[in-house]
């Protein structure tokens, strides 16, 4: 059954930095190609995230080149001042020292396989355009969808908010080859309170999600069949 099409594809090359919207990408066993492939760990070996450093969200990370399975393209990071730095170079490391203000180590997971890696939940996070619209109405404020850090936004044929929550245990086919299994709710945390534009925190959004949605927004999916997806690909719910 046709349920919609892919409206947006977003991957985050650097965990907790703003990501990049792409027109197409490979879907790997672990999720979108290179998603959360680069990360920082604190002195206790825990991933450093927006929870500890909200200003991380003001930095945007993108891949600058074609996807390859042997090596990632360079990761370019745009700072809040507009400067563009390259992951690993001296200027980037100095900028990160100023941003993070604590001892950290860097880690990169290979493009062909990321065993567990920095993706700490299921492989792919999915929301629908109808759900974003309804959450905007419930919150009563302009809502930047980047707050939810989803990988895929589906444009639904049936514009019923939170329709994707009825698909748990079912599979969807994207385009001609990629197959995902919808697994469970995404339980939200303080990260959605941080505005991606200026890192200002507004706790009222999380309070709204807790009150109106039992702290659920979006659904997690695991990868059943890898392949390539594109914006505009049709999405079918399998029987």
Give pLDDT tens digits for 161-176. Answer: 999 999 999 999 999 9
φ, ψ dihedrals at 132, nearest 5°: -60, -40
With contact defined as beta carbons under 8 Å apart, do 90 and 133 qualify? no
Query: What's the whole-model pTM score?
Result: 0.95
Quick one: pLDDT at residue 116?
Answer: 64
pLDDT digits (tens, 9 = 90+) for 86-115: 999 999 999 999 999 999 999 999 998 776
Q: What is the pLDDT confidence band of residue 42, given thresholds at 50, 70 and 90?
A: very high
Coil, strand or helix at 210: helix
Quick one: pLDDT at residue 115?
Answer: 67
With contact defined as beta carbons under 8 Å apart, do 34 and 126 qualify? no
Q: What is the pLDDT confidence band of residue 182, given thresholds at 50, 70 and 90?
A: very high
What CATH number is attached to the domain comprising 191? 2.40.33.20
Q: Rounded mean pLDDT of 190-207?
A: 96
Instruction: Take residue 18 and report the two structure tokens written for it.
Output: 């703003």
Quick one: pLDDT at residue 121?
Answer: 73
DSSP result, 163-190: GGGGGTT-EEEETTTEEEEEEEEEEP-G
pLDDT digits (tens, 9 = 90+) for 108-158: 999 987 766 787 778 999 999 999 999 999 999 999 999 999 999 999 999
Q: Rounded mean pLDDT of 195-211?
A: 96
CA 169 to chain centre: 21
What average pLDDT is seen over the chain?
A: 95
| Total count of domains within the chain | 1
Quick one: pLDDT at residue 227?
Answer: 97
Burial of 237 (0-12, 13-18, 19+ CB in 10 A): middle
| Alpha-helical segments (H) within the chain | 90-100, 129-139, 204-213
Give the domain extent around 170: 2-237
């Amino acid at each position: 059954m046709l349920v919609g099409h892919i409206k947006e594809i977003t991957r985050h090359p650097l965990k907790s930095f703003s990501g990049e919207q792409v027109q197409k990408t490979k879907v790997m066993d672990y999720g979108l190609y290179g998603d959360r492939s680069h990360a920082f760990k604190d002195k206790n070996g825990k991933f450093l995230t927006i929870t500890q450093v909200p200003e991380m969200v003001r930095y945007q990370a993108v891949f600058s080149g074609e996807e390859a399975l042997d090596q990632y393209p360079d990761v370019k990071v745009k700072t809040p001042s507009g400067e563009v730095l390259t992951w690993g170079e001296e200027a980037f490391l100095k900028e990160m020292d100023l941003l993070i203000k604590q001892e950290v180590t860097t880690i990169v997971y290979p493009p062909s396989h990321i065993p567990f890696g920095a993706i700490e939940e299921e492989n792919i996070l999915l929301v629908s355009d109808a759900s974003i619209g309804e959450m905007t109405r419930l919150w009563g404020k302009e809502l930047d969808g980047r707050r939810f850090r989803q990988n895929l936004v589906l444009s639904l044929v049936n514009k019923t908010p939170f329709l994707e929550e009825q698909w748990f245990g079912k599979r969807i086919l994207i385009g001609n080859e990629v197959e995902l299994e919808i697994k469970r709710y995404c339980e939200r945390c303080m990260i959605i309170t941080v505005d991606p534009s200026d890192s200002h925190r507004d706790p009222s959004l999380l309070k709204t999600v807790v009150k109106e949605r039992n702290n659920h927004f979006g659904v997690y999916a695991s990868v059943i069949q890898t392949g390539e997806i594109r914006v505009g690909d049709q999405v079918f719910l399998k029987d």
